[in-house]
Chains A and B, each alone.
Chain A
Amino acid sequence: MKRLDPARFVEMRAEGAHRFLSAPPVREMNSLIFPRGFTSGYLRRALPTRIRTVYSMPPIAISPRRRVWLSPRLIVILTTAAVLVYGVIYPNFHVIVASLQQDGRWSLQNYAQALSQSIVLESIIASVGVSVLTVLFCAAVGIPLAFLFERYTFPARKVFATFAALPLVLPPLVGTVAFIFLCGESGILARLVQSALRLDHSPWSLRGWPALLLFHTYTMYPFFYMLTGAGLTRIDAALAEAGRSLGASRTRVLMRILLPQLTPSLIAAALLTFMTSMASFSAPLLFGGGVRVLTLEIYTARQRGDASLALTETVILAVISLSALFFFQRYEGTRKFASAALKGATKTRRAIATGRARLIAIACGVLFSLLLVLPVATLVLVSFAREGNWTTQTVPTAYTVANYVRIFSDPRASEVFLNSLSMSAIAAGAALVWSLSVATLLARKGGRRWKRLLSWLILVPWALPGTVVAVSLAEAYGQPSALLGSFILVGTFWILPVVYFLRFMPLVVRAVQASLEQIDAALEEAAASLGARWWQRFSRVTLPLVWPGALAGTLLAFVIALGEYVASVIVFVPTNRPVSIAIASELRDFNLGTAAAYGVVLMAMIGIIMTVATRLERRRG
């Protein structure tokens, strides 16, 4: 390529100009502007005196804004509105209306009947009670662990940190199954204790409140652990030091400085835990015993064919969940601190050096790592057990790969993986595209009221338990409806992808929004000032920057959809069973090994995808 003389650069500007004014020759201008022979500056060297003329401004193309009837923005707004109307507003509205009608007449009969049954009242109390206790237990476990593992450093720390989030990606059904194998009344731990103490029956049964709370604490403590940890790293280390320098004791610093600043994180963790616990279904189903929570009641009422009771209970559950969300968000808003805006010294972890404290810390690290990994290890162990061979022994006696051979060779068994993969991929892909357009709508200036309404509507399917989403869709689109005409969604392939999409798209929207917020607004402005149109700005600046975060969020949604059980069990089609349904049916037939093998393969897929997602996340930072 021809080497360009900088002087040419200036001339090139003029070549394209349609109109120009001549200006005094440069040498003359120089003498005007730089009277005493300027010496410094790269221009002196870069631009020799060869330039003859400096032309005036090149013309700018001022063309009127194109008036397109169906602008991209309008399309985005219309699709957003359509998804929200069809997916969120109409189904929920339909359920509320149906619950308020009896024999075609408006009445509160359904509620009167439901609330007069002691079982419904009991299940409301049980749901709320379990959730509140779960929050307390998880806080009691998660917060101290976060303080120990995020503020100090010692040999076993990394091991624990690697496994800490494991329960979060474990599908609830798989986790429940693993728990039964590990500490059920005929599980490995129970048998160990039984043989050690030479008891003639199992030392405990994994039933009722203790079992539920144990399992919930195991699966949901990471909310507290991770959010507290993140909150701790955000707190300016100098604040604690300032407190100490003013004469406050360690406990005083903790109570008066650290904990108050952690409140936003703790509230967020409590919210997540409460909502997840309200929606919990697999654990109450498999070892809830006498604890009848609402999700389970809705499911059994539907199984019995008592549609109006199921609907009424669905509305009750939805109302409880949404009011919890509202309450927590209200409270969170009052506890925001501006200190995040200050640049603080980065918090470094302190090493525990002294003998006894170090030993205790290491012991904690090892113990908790073991506790985290044990259920998963049990599942892997059982997946290799020969079917029907594990009855009264502590661990299975004979091992085989037959379970894996079976699920991969039998087309009816292996197809469930393809079903789950394709349905989750459709849902996650749609969620990604939709989230990108919604997030750009939300990032625009102005229209604050509309944006608030939009954010709330997007949040609704996330805040509603999976049971509620599935029931409302099943009811709204189970017969010819005003919105779909003669098309009936229930019973088709599309019902599950739609349910997955609705349930997990809020996650993707959140991920995309978080990435968008990190982009400097000046970047898009710079692109605009350089002449990039709407589409060019999006595809060349915004999208490349948002992409890693958006993809990580999408993969997370995909992974959760892969193991989804709660909603699937309500609306799945027998010809199109997802993995979770297959696991549950194997379990019902006491094919423990096969159920475990399904679980292990599912976990392996999730593990691989999560690794990819983490890589992406890291590349972004």
Chain B
Amino acid sequence: MPLLSLKKLSKSFDKTTAVADVSLDVERGEFFGLLGPSGCGKTTTLRMIAGLEHPDSGSIEFEGREITNLPAERRGFGMVFQNYALFPHLNVFENVAFGLRARHKPNPEIAERVKGALELVQLPGYEKRRVDELSGGQQQRVAIARAIAIEPALLLFDEPLSNLDVALREETRGELRELVTRLGLTAVYVTHDQEEAFALCDRISVMVGGRLLQTGRPRDLYEHPAQLSVGKFLGRNNLIRAMRLSSSKSALGEFKTLDGGHVLRAPVDEKNPLPLNQPCILAIRPEHVVVTKSKDEPENALPATVREINFSGATSSVKLDANGLLIEALALDANELKVGDNRTVVLPPERIALLKDE
């Protein structure tokens, strides 16, 4: 039984639909990510889980019990807000103790638990500080300490790292993941940052326009996007418009690209073949594109001319033109390449994902 399950949740504000028909399951001990561009409804979904918004339809179950109508204060879920929402009139100790006081815990126990929580987030001895004296990173940790001090049944994060600078964000990211794992907590984490979601989450749901497009492990989503919009949203991608040529029963199908007129081979799902002569999209990541000098590559080798080289530190992005078909490749070392060089571009079939044209 999943720990948390959302069943056909929908929510609209006035006339705009924020969340449409979202269903998902979060397993116990999982770090679950909701990833999507801003305004896609991921925060609304999180707020419905927290009990801060009431869904228009659908239900939320926790440990098999229906909690759709349970007010936020009875759910016992800890939440870390994007702007931290620390109480400005209370010091660090009282902020962390807030949830414990609301539960009428005895003072010695509160003191002990606050101390423990602050040590967990590496802020021991900060009890008497005012929250506005703290740096952004420290405020962030207080917010996390406050959420874990109540021993949350579920920990909810609403883009908690988006207000930190890049270096601090990456450091805190690692610490956050360790903390959640160590305490054996289950977390739902909302972010628009794909890298962050990949680094943190066990499983991710990609949300666009209020709908869940795909749920899966980060690597699966990256390599096998189920839909064009998922492929577009997650990282750079070469999206090649093509038509299926043959209906061969083999694992590899033949496609003719609309630009350049090349014939490419790509894996097809035998059980669910695309109709012939319908436009579709072949997607391949730039880092999987091979650029070579030799001309005798077995499959999917296209002669191409280098059009553009963009140096960006560790890698360079190389844009090539294969008879009108533009391909982007990622090269670790582009020293040998010059604009105007003739090369061979290889698109390894096992790296090509087949997507429906939307």
Interface residues of A (CB under 8 A from B): 1-4, 6, 8-10, 12-13, 16, 21, 23, 26, 29, 33-34, 38, 40-47, 51, 54-63, 65, 520, 522-523, 525-533, 536-537, 540-541, 544-545
Contacts and interface: CB of A to CB of B under 8 A. Distances in A.
Contact of A530 (B52, B102, B119): B102
B81 A525 contact: yes
Which 3 A-B pairs rank lowest in CB-CB distance, beginning with the nearest?
A530-B99, A9-B116, A60-B76
Contacts of B147: 529-530
B67 A9 contact: no
A56 B152 CA distance: 11
Contact of B74 (A51, A61, A540): A61
Nearest to B119: A6
B15 interface: no
Interface string B69-104: 111111111110111011111000000001101110
B52 A525 contact: yes
A65 B68 CA distance: 13
Nearest to B78: A529
A518 to B, nearest CB: 11
B50 interface: yes
A57 B28 contact: yes
B115 interface: yes
9 contacts: A13-B183, A26-B182, A41-B178, A57-B154, A65-B74, A523-B85, A526-B81, A530-B78, A530-B102
Nearest to B124: A46
B113 A57 contact: no
B215 interface: no
Given A54-B182, A528-B71, A528-B72, A1 B111 contact: yes
B150 interface: yes
Contact of A520 (B51, B70, B85, B153): B85
A529 B120 contact: no
Contacts of B150: 530-531
Given A42-B121, A65-B71, A4 B115 contact: yes
A16 B151 contact: yes
Most buried by B among A4, A8, A43: A43
Contacts, number: 165
B348 interface: no
A533 B102 contact: yes
A26 B101 CA distance: 30
Contacts of A530: 73, 78, 98-99, 102, 146-147, 150
Given A9-B117, A43-B179, A62 B151 contact: no
A525 B72 contact: yes
A63 B74 contact: yes
Nearest to A55: B184
B178 A531 contact: no
Contact of B76 (A51, A61, A527, A533): A61
Interface string B181-195: 111111000000000
Contacts of B70: 62, 65
Contact of A527 (B50, B98, B171): B98
Contact of B52 (A8, A45, A46, A528): A528
A528 B120 contact: no
A60 B75 contact: yes
Given A62-B74, A531-B150, 19 more contacts: A1-B108, A1-B111, A6-B119, A8-B116, A41-B178, A42-B120, A43-B175, A46-B120, A47-B120, A54-B183, A56-B184, A61-B76, A522-B85, A526-B79, A527-B98, A527-B102, A529-B79, A545-B88, A545-B89
B122 A42 contact: yes
Contacts of B47: 525
Contacts of B175: 40-43
Interface string B60-72: 0011010101111
B29 interface: yes
Most buried by B among A2, A51, A60, A530: A530
B103 A43 contact: no
A45 to B, nearest CB: 8
Contacts of B183: 10, 13, 54
A525 B158 CA distance: 13
